[in-house]
Structure 1
Amino acid sequence: MARHLNDIDKALICDDIESGLSLNQISIKRGFARRTVQRIAENLRNNVLITRKQGYGRPQLLNNSMKQFIKNLHNMNSFISSREIIEKLNKEFNLKVSRPTISRFLSSLGLITNLVLKKPLLRPVNIKKRFEICKNFLRMKDETLKKIIFSDEVKINLFTSDGARYVRHYPGERHNSKNIVPTVKHGGGCVMVWGCISYQGVGRLVFIENTITGAAYKQILAKNLRQSANEMGIESFIFIHDNDPKHTSGVVKDWIDAKEIDILPWPPQSPDLNPIEHIWAFIKK
């Protein structure tokens, strides 16, 4: 439904008319239909009052108290649905309204609807640790940052991804082969790999054939960590891996201590802070 022009809109259109702009130019400039601009021009030419008549148009269903009530409901619970708001509004004011009415009012507040973002439930102490390591990265000198080696393991599907995919197609082309993702029995299998990266580039990519344990992880580091650093041209490096149990196992800690490798402590539940995740996302494509 077209909205009414307010008095400010009409005054601006009148200014444009008096400045010599054409009706088409004003229509494009102000975003109103040419017929609307033409009507205001005719009223201006005939000295007709162009301000909006008081009470003109369909009265609003929601009064100020109802609007504030709805606003308070949302402020207390941003997940509340239009249906729940309607029920509470009816109970409080004995008023039945439609979902579009509620949606329009919420939109008028500047609210938008998005898919809910999900993230790990973090304790305050872990949130603080995440914040601290981010501040440490910002304070680090470039020379130090260039010495850091980030590592991680990841599972990569050989045929299709685990997640849902979307495709845009023309009507009648849903079953066109170009719009179909072929599948195989049992998902086509997957591989587990270990890798590492730094400012200087990428290190080795190691395929893991069996279940990885602390001892197996130690062997991966022993055969590939220093070698990756050498291939990336890093003489003295700082190593980062997350708090996976196999990473923090005694056999791995003992090996790291024996090799005098510098470790940068990593906050719990923080894989998203590791830049190697961007590499995994690229490989999975």
Structure 2
Amino acid sequence: MPRLSPDQRQQAIGRLDARQSVQQVVRAVGVNVTTVYRLQQRFHATNSTCDLRRRGRPRVTTAGQDRHLVHQHQRDAFETAANTARNTFGVHGQPVSARTLRRRLGGQNLVNRRPARRPVLTAQHRLDCLARAQQHARWRHRDWRRVLFSDEKRFCLEPGDGRIRIWRRPGQRFANINILQHDRWGGASVMIWGAIGVSLQVGPVVFLNVGQGRGNGVNADRYINQVLLPYVVPFVQRYRNCLFQQDNARPHTARATQDRLRHNSVNILPHPARSPDLNPIEHFWDIMQRRINALARRPRTAAELPAAVTQVWAQVPQQQINHLVLSMHWRCATVINAQGGATRY
């Protein structure tokens, strides 16, 4: 027979108080006679229709041990529950299972998630990033409108971003229909340069003569001839008040590149090493990658990849780009609060 719901219990007690017989209550509620008798006895004994608290299985850990386990995982977030359980013994020396430990951690609002990935930061990296954020903390929208943020990005045919999910039954993880076949290094790729600002975009530029081998990447010569001279210098000559930001990649810091920038009077906004938090174009690349993944017909060959990147670039709303650039005020404030460390950006 099904268990009585709280409303049915109140209804049964109400009928009994109205001097209806147990048989009448049984027919009205639709349960066993014994259920109604026990409900009546419980109500007279406790003045409540709720179930009595059951003792259940005794806990294998004490409250003090529970607090110690939680503090241990808060101190070392990378410690696994299975390893902690192997080194923990409960009441009377009983072993503690990993499942029990996970329940204890979950009871204190600790959940198991993938760690955030950020660049390796030394003390000097943190100081430089903090100094940059403090220097521009008072900049407002009119100041950030002058900045042109630039960067390179490699787009692959098979991105390994971990966002792909499938629906499957238990035990069918390695069924052919559930296997995602991919090249270990992402397959064919294309290197793209681009720059964004408020109400403006420059690019995308597909680097030519760039291969997979050592020395076939983006060097200072390719950066100067394929990006600076045809795109950046004409843009700066048109917008004299513009500040150009680039990261500290070797093609950008090479002596030939720096000489070319000085010769053409390009004003550079310094960018500290390993501080993607302070470059909104990093989020722009993520938006583009998501849109490429969502294409109805994704690129299948290396020849189709540049066209797909150019198509998606043109589809990103300028309003969304403006929002990324004008978030620099909040980015600087967040970096200052983190003392130059990793942030949500």
Would the TM-score normalized by the shorter structure come out above 0.5?
Answer: yes
Give, in whole Å, the separation in 1 of the partners of 2:235 and 2:117: 35
CA shift, 1:57, in A, is: 4.3
CA shift, 1:182, in A, is: 8.6
User: Which residue number in structure 1 is paired with residue 268 of structure 2?
Assistant: 263
What does the per-residue CA deviation read over 1:126-161, in whole Å, with 9 as the maximum and x for residues that have no partner? 12322333344442132221110011122223x332
Q: Structure 2 vs 1, CA of residues 215 and 199 (structure 1 numbering), >3 Å: closer, same or farther? A: same
Task: For 1:49-198, list aligned pairs within 5 A.
Answer: 56-90=55-89, 94-157=93-156, 159-164=157-162, 166-169=164-167, 189-198=188-197
CA shift, 1:121, in A, is: 1.4
What does the per-residue CA deviation read over 1:170-209, in whole Å, with 9 as the maximum and x for residues that have no partner? 769x877xx997979x966322222111112211222211
Give, in whole Å, the separation in 1 of the partners of 2:67 and 2:287: 47
User: Which residue number in structure 2 is paired with residue 273 of structure 1?
Assistant: 278
Amino acid at match of 2:105: L
Give, in whole Å, the separation in 1 of the partners of 2:71 and 2:188: 51
Amino acid at match of 2:159: S
Give, in whole Å, the separation in 2 of the partners of 1:67 and 1:166: 36
User: Which residue number in structure 2 is paired with residue 28 of structure 1?
Assistant: none
SS in 2 for 1:217: helix
Alignment match of 2:233 (pick from 213, 226, 232) = 226
CA shift, 1:273, in A, is: 3.0
Q: Structure 2 vs 1, CA of residues 114 and 223 (structure 1 numbering), >3 Å: closer, same or farther? A: same
Amino acid at match of 1:147: R
1:242 partnered with 2:227: no
Unmatched segments (≥5 aa) in structure 1: 1-12, 18-34
Give, in whole Å, the separation in 1 of the partners of 2:142 and 2:247: 23
SS in 1 for 2:164: coil
Number of aligned residue pairs: give it: 245
Give, in whole Å, the separation in 2 of the partners of 1:212 and 1:98: 53
User: Which residue number in structure 2 is paired with residue 215 of structure 1?
Assistant: 221
What does the per-residue CA deviation read over 1:36-90, in whole Å, with 9 as the maximum and x for residues that have no partner? xx99x96896362559989944432212332233234323322222222222223
Q: Which has the higher contact order (CA 8 A, sep 6+)?
A: 2
**Percent identity between the aligned chains?**
21
CA contact (8 A) 1:66 1:89 kept: no
Unmatched segments (≥5 aa) in structure 2: 1-5, 11-30, 210-216, 293-345
Q: Structure 2 vs 1, CA of residues 207 and 71 (structure 1 numbering), >3 Å: closer, same or farther? A: closer
User: Which residue number in structure 1 is paired with residue 297 of structure 2?
Assistant: none
User: What CA RMSD, in Å, does the superposition of the two structures yield over aligned residues?
Assistant: 3.8
Give, in whole Å, the separation in 1 of the partners of 2:242 and 2:131: 21
Greater CA drift, 269-278 or 130-139 = 130-139
SS in 1 for 2:251: coil
Q: Structure 2 vs 1, CA of residues 240 and 71 (structure 1 numbering), >3 Å: closer, same or farther? A: same
SS in 1 for 2:260: helix
Give, in whole Å, the separation in 2 of the partners of 1:165 and 1:54: 44
User: Which residue number in structure 1 is paired with residue 314 of structure 2?
Assistant: none
- The TM-score with structure 1 as length reference comes to 0.70
- The TM-score with structure 2 as length reference comes to 0.59
Give, in whole Å, the separation in 1 of the partners of 2:83 and 2:186: 41
